[in-house]
Structure 1
Amino acid sequence: MSMASVKTNVEIDVLAKQLWALGDPVRLQILRILPTEPTCDNACNVSTIAERIGLSQPATSHHLRILRQAGIITNEKKCRDMIYWIDLEAAALVRTQLGEVLS
């Protein structure tokens, strides 16, 4: 197996994990409300997200963890809370890689 095919397999595995994370209606709802930058003005913590999508905080935390582990979102302690936002570079890479697979 060549190094190029190993790299491709790793990229495909990562993309598959990201697509699985994105393939859930609740997680897509979460992505719709998350900001794209970590500012206090539009900060989204677990409580805010849970309230807006109508889920419990533990269920919301579970979905956020999946999105974070897939590299789609990021988080940071800021504004007295742990806040979450979409990682635009990661999202763009998912789009690009999916386009390559489908072309």
Structure 2
Amino acid sequence: MKTNIEIDALAKQLWALGDPLRLQILRILPTEPTCHNACNVSTIAERIGLSQPATSHHLRILRQAGIITNEKKCRDMIYWIDLEAAEQVSLQLKEVLS
């Protein structure tokens, strides 16, 4: 059985994933930090039709949940999915449901 800390972290991650706009953001984000497919706040906001502040808010929630990461690169702050963290969420959810 999972400890409360692990369950709490998983619950936070699932909450972060449970928003339709954040799921749209994840569909846009690359899985590695390269300049040729880089996604900054402006690019993401434009593609999902949100303001930059609203997009930043959703990115912050995903980042705090550990699902995405960011780095200043290519003159911008770029974002990408942390595949290892996403896989851990999936594995932990499967464990809870089994």
- Structure 2's unaligned 5+ residue stretches are none
C-alpha deviation, 1:97, in angstroms: 0.1
- Structure 1's unaligned 5+ residue stretches are none
SS in 2 for 1:55: coil
CA distance in 2, matches of 1:51, 1:68: 20
C-alpha deviation, 1:8, in angstroms: 1.2
SS in 2 for 1:82: strand
Q: What number of residue pairs does the alignment pair up?
A: 98
Alignment correspondent of 1:71? 66
CA distance in 2, matches of 1:52, 1:20: 23
Alignment correspondent of 1:61? 56
For the aligned residue pairs, the C-alpha RMSD in angstroms reads 1.0
TM-score (norm: length of structure 1): 0.93
Largest Rg, 1 or 2:
1
4+ long deviations beyond 2 Å = none
1:67-99: per-residue Cα shift (whole Å, max 9, x none)? Answer: 000000000000000000000000000000000
Q: Report sequence identity in percent.
A: 90
> Which residue, out of 76, 80, 87, partners 2:82?
87
C-alpha deviation, 1:37, in angstroms: 0.1
